[in-house]
């Protein structure tokens, strides 16, 4: 895995304090999304936080009243403790309320967070699905996707932090108002004590983010190594080839590099954080001494001393939390930017036409001098290919590995656009059709079809998921693809969970999986069928049976088959032979045999193998 060199935090991708503040502009949009998720819960949370914000100053004030009342009653000849006990009762009630409020806050935050988590995960899944395949195969895009996906919990934390910040802000304002009322000078001490640690926090959280961000692809690599190193699918090869040390070393080297950079940063952050906190404590005790002096000189009461020292202490803690939360918020907001960047990735250009597709294909497809290179690659994979696929024709693609057969299918399906030339359907460039309708036109099974760890029934219905409850259709499809023979051996039949990942799952052999996947092609009555080497894992008898059925069933249907087995290929109406991205020859089996070129050579070679 080639890696971009990374040397230190002085990397040019390092973000600065300004970008941290800039990222905060995403917060309103973020809260609009949360508001949409559950307005009632959001309002409840906001209300609880407002009450929670006012409580500290009220409790401190009652504390002051209690002390002053005690001193007053002690000095009286006939004390009356009614007011005193009322204050104590009120303080007790407020402390209980305070606990109730903080529990209500964590409950509403938790529920709101869970709901938001679900909504944003759904948005990511939907967006990923709308995005062009070419982007999905791009590594930079993957980094973006990874940051958007892995930070889902971070976004929930961000929500709590922002709400807590607002609560803290209100609390601070009320406490500051109290301080200003009695001893305005204390505010100066307070600000002086808090600013250095704020700057320190902002600086380090920036560096932390820069490091994490610049290591996105390395972390992806670490995840990948962790996956292949501890996974049932790779375990056989890893054991057999003795790959454990190789993978462990690679994992260790990479993660230690990250660990070292992270460690340096964490140590610096803690050491400076400690120094600045000492500054904070010095200023607190300075303030304390000052207040005691004011009490001794008779300028303020003992109750006011309790209130002021309590307020100062709380304020300092609140401000410290406020600033460190601010850095957490700006750090998470940077990830928020990644999330919105991902969600905002523009899809196809708006100007694209949206022609409706013909109900039935009239003339067919035409590839006209199609050239293609994958994005970010100089290598031209298709070098000016021209051929036709007539309506109702069965065309086979043959050619050696890497000749460009699957790439041709990807262009036909509009996963990519040709770099030059065009593909026409009934004389119209396929780009002009509505993409969703166009792709609906095809029933495709790829050679690297996905093994969904769902039930058999769901695996088959994936071909036309709206028909999930249509058992008759699912069983018909299974019969045509020979998957019914697989199902009959499964304990729970069509409801059998497949794969080993989930409880009671049953693993299938490669060929059995292929039969199940093939059934997907029969689920919808697609206009065009494409089978890209769908039978490579089938035994010879099953393969010929599958193809007999396929040929019979797709009689008169436009279809493309890619296969390396010539016994299959020869059954097609015509065969396109590809060599290194060029169309070498096209014709019926007989015509190509007469041609005596690559097809005849490969066919004879394979036929000899069977003698
Ligand atoms: N996503 C991609 N990005 C860059 N290059 C790619 C990508 N997919 C395939 N290629 C390259 O395109 C060339 C053609 O690949 P393609 O899959 O079309 O071959 P094929 O004829 O279907 O081969 P096979 O018989 O092995 O399936 C190969 O050289 C491959 O390396």
Domain boundaries, the chain: 24-343, 355-441+527-611, 449-525
| Integer Cα distance of 511 and 396 in angstroms | 22
End-to-end CA distance of the chain: 44
Q: What is the pLDDT of residue 16?
A: 57
pLDDT of res. 19: 65
| Residue of minimum CA distance from atom 6 in ligand 1 | 374
Whether 247 contacts 228, CB under 8 Å: yes
- Looking at residue 367, its pLDDT comes to 96
The two three-digit tokens of residue 91, written as one number:
């303080």
Helix (H, G, I), strand (E, B) or coil at 555: coil
Between 406-410, 514-518, 545-549, the lowest mean confidence (pLDDT) is in 545-549
Q: How many A from CA of 423 to the centre of ligand 1?
A: 19
Please choose from 136, 382, 406, 581 the residue to mutate so as to test ligand 1's pocket, defined by most ligand atoms within 8 A of CB: 406
- DSSP-derived secondary structure letter, 433: B
Nearest ligand 1 atom to alpha carbon 409: 18
Residue 401 Cα to ligand 1 midpoint, Å, equals 8
ipTM score assigned to the predicted complex: 0.96
Tell me, in angstroms, the distance from the centre of ligand 1 to residue 563's CA.
15
pLDDT tens digits for range 180-214: 888 888 888 777 777 777 777 777 877 777 787 78
Using one digit for the tens of pLDDT, what is the confidence trace for 585-611? Answer: 999 999 999 989 889 988 888 877 655
CATH topology of domain 449-525: Rossmann fold (3.40.50)
Continuous segment of H or E residues that includes residue 481: none
Ligand 1 centroid vs 449 CA: distance in angstroms? 15
Q: For residue 537, what pLDDT is reported?
A: 67
pLDDT at 609: 63
* 3-state SS assignment for residue 453: coil
CA distance 346 to 130: 10
Instruction: Read off the pTM.
Output: 0.68
Residue-averaged pLDDT of the chain = 85
Ligand 1 probe mutation, 370, 404, 580, most atoms within 8 A of CB:
404
Parallel/antiparallel/unpaired status of strands 582-587 and 394-399: unpaired
What whole-number distance in Å separates Cα of residue 277 and Cα of residue 316?
A: 10
The count of other CB atoms within 10 Å of the CB of residue 131 is 17
Q: Report pLDDT for 311.
A: 87
Give pLDDT tens digits for 382-438: 999 999 999 999 999 999 889 999 999 999 999 888 999 999 999 999 999 988 889
pLDDT of residue 611: 56
Is residue 530 helix, strand or coil?
Answer: strand
Cα of 406 vs centre of ligand 1, distance in Å, is 7
| pLDDT single digits (tens) 22-75 | 778 888 999 999 999 999 999 999 999 999 999 999 999 999 999 999 999 998
Cα(85)–Cα(73) distance, integer angstroms: 12
The contacts of residue 332 (CB under 8 Å, 6+ apart) are 151, 154, 155, 157, 158, 161
The mean pLDDT value for 503-508 works out to 85
The 10s digit of each residue's pLDDT in 445-503 is: 888 888 898 999 999 998 888 889 999 999 999 998 889 999 999 999 999 999 887 87
Given the CA of residue 410, which atom of ligand 1 is nearest to it? 18
Residue 546 host element (H or E) = helix 540-553
**Residue position matching structure tokens 């029934």:** 457
**Can you give the pLDDT at residue 235?**
82
User: Sorting pLDDT into bands at 50, 70 and 90, what band is 5?
Assistant: very low
Q: Is the dihedral of CA 365, 371, 373, 375 positive or negative?
A: negative
Number of H helices, E strands in the chain: 22, 10
Most confident of 119-133, 306-320, 448-462: 448-462
Confidence of residue 87 (pLDDT cuts 50, 70, 90): very high
**Cα 396 to middle of ligand 1, angstroms:** 17
Higher pLDDT, 336 or 559: 559
Q: What is the pLDDT of residue 169?
A: 92
Least confident piece of the model among 112-126, 246-260, 279-293: 279-293
**What is the average per-residue pLDDT within 237-255?**
87
- pLDDT-derived band at 102 (thresholds 50, 70, 90) equals very high
Confidence of residue 14 (pLDDT cuts 50, 70, 90): very low
Q: Bigger pLDDT: 559 or 9? A: 559
Q: Is the pLDDT of residue 332 over 50?
A: yes
356-369: average pLDDT: 91
Confidence at residue 463, expressed as pLDDT on a 0 to 100 scale: 86
Q: What is the three-class DSSP state of 22?
A: helix
Task: Work out the average pLDDT over 556-579.
Answer: 88
Q: Which CATH number fits domain 355-441+527-611: 3.40.50.300, 3.30.479.20, 3.40.50.10490, 3.30.230.20?
A: 3.40.50.300
Phi first, then psi, for residue 93 (nearest 5°) are -60, -40
The alpha carbon of residue 566 and the mean position of all alpha carbons in its chain are separated, in whole angstroms, by 43
Q: In what order do the strands lie in the sheet with 428-429?
A: 380-390, 364-373, 420-425, 428-429
Read off the pLDDT of residues 265-276 as tens digits, 9 standing for 90 and up: 889 988 988 888
Question: For ligand 1, which residues put their CB under 6 angstroms from it?
Answer: 137, 374, 377, 381, 399, 401-407
Structure tokens at 401: 């590995």
Pick the atom of ligand 1 nearest to 377's CA. Answer: 4
Query: How does pLDDT run across 138-191, given as a tens digit for each residue?
Result: 777 777 777 777 776 677 788 889 999 999 999 999 988 888 888 888 888 777
351-387 burial code (b ≥16 CB/10 A, e <16):
eeeebebeeebeebbbbbebebbbeeeeebbbbbbeb
Confidence of residue 20 (pLDDT cuts 50, 70, 90): low
pLDDT over 90 for what percent of the chain?
A: 34
Lowest mean pLDDT among 129-133, 162-166, 378-382: 129-133
How far does the centroid of ligand 1 lie from the alpha carbon of residue 402, in Å?
5
446 CA → ligand 1 middle, Å: 13
403 CA: nearest ligand 1 atom = 21
Residue nearest to atom 24 of ligand 1 (CA): 401
Nearest CA owner, ligand 1 atom 25? 401
CA nearest ligand 1 atom 26, residue: 401
Q: Are 355-441+527-611 and 449-525 the same fold in CATH?
A: yes
The rounded Å distance from CA 404 to ligand 1 centre is 6
Closest CA to 599 of 583, 577, 580, 581: 577
Residue nearest atom 19 in ligand 1 by C-alpha distance: 402
Q: Which CATH architecture has domain 24-343?
A: Up-down Bundle (1.20)
Task: Give the residue, out of 140, 400, 407, with the most ligand 1 atoms within 8 A of its beta carbon, to mutate for a pocket test.
Answer: 407
């Amino acid at each position: 895995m080639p890696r971009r060199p990374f040397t230190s935090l002085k990397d040019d991708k390092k973000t600065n304090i300004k970008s941290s503040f800039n990222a905060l502009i995403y917060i309103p949009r973020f809260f609009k999304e949360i508001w949409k998720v559950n307005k009632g819960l959001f309002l409840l949370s906001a209300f609880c936080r407002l009450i929670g914000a006012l409580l500290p100053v009220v409790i401190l004030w009652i504390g002051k009243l209690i002390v002053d009342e005690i001193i007053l009653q002690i000095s009286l000849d006939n004390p009356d403790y009614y007011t005193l006990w009322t204050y104590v009762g009120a303080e007790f009630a407020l402390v209980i309320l305070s606990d109730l409020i903080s529990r209500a806050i964590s409950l509403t935050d938790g529920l709101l967070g869970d709901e938001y988590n679900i909504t944003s995960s759904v948005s990511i899944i939907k967006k990923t699905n709308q995005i062009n395949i070419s982007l999905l195969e791009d590594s930079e895009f993957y980094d973006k996707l990874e940051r958007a996906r892995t930070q889902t919990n971070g976004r929930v934390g961000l929500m709590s932090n922002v709400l807590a910040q607002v609560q803290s802000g209100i609390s601070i304002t009320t406490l500051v108002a109290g301080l200003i009322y009695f001893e305005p000078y204390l505010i100066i001490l307070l600000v002086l004590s808090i600013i250095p640690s704020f700057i320190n926090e902002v600086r380090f959280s920036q560096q932390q983010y820069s490091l994490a961000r610049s290591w996105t692809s390395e972390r992806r690599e670490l995840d990948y190594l962790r996956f292949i190193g501890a996974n049932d699918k790779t375990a056989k090869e890893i054991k057999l080839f003795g790959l454990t040390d190789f993978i462990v070393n690679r994992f260790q080297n990479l993660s230690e590099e990250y660990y070292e950079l992270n460690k340096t940063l964490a140590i610096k952050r803690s050491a400076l954080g400690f120094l600045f906190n000492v500054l904070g404590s010095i200023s607190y005790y300075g303030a304390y001494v000052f207040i005691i002096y004011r009490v001794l000189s008779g300028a303020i009461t003992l109750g006011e001393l309790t209130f002021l020292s309590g307020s100062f202490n709380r304020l300092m803690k609140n401000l410290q939390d406020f600033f460190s939360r601010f850095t957490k918020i700006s750090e998470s907001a940077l990830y928020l930017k990644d999330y919105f960047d991902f969600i905002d990735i523009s899809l196809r250009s708006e100007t694209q036409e949206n022609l409706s597709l013909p109900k039935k294909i009239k003339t067919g497809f035409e590839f006209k001098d199609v050239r293609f290179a994958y994005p970010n690659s100089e290598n031209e994979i298709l070098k000016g290919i021209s051929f036709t696929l007539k309506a109702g024709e069965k065309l086979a693609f043959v050619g050696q590995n890497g000749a460009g057969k699957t790439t041709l299918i990807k262009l036909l399906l509009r996963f990519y656009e040709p770099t030059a030339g065009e593909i026409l359907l009934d004389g119209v460039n396929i780009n002009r059709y509505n993409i969703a309708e166009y792709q609906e036109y095809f029933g495709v099974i790829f050679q690297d079809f996905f093994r969904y760890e769902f039930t058999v029934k769901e695996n088959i219905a994936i071909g036309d998921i709206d028909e999930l409850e249509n058992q008759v259709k699912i069983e018909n499809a299974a019969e045509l693809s020979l998957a019914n023979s697989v199902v009959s051996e499964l304990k729970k039949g069509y409801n059998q969970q497949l794969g080993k990942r989930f409880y009671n799952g049953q693993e299938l052999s490669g060929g059995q999986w292929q039969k199940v996947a093939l059934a997907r092609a029969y689920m919808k009555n697609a206009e065009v069928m494409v089978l890209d080497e769908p039978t490579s894992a089938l035994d010879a008898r099953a393969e010929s049976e599958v193809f007999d059925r396929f040929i019979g069933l797709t009689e008169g249907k436009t279809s493309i088959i890619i296969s390396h087995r010539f016994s299959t290929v020869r059954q097609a109406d015509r065969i396109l032979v590809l060599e290194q991205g060029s169309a070498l020859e096209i014709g019926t089996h007989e015509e190509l045999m007469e041609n005596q070129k690559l097809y005849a050579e490969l066919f004879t070679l394979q036929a000899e193998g069977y003698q």
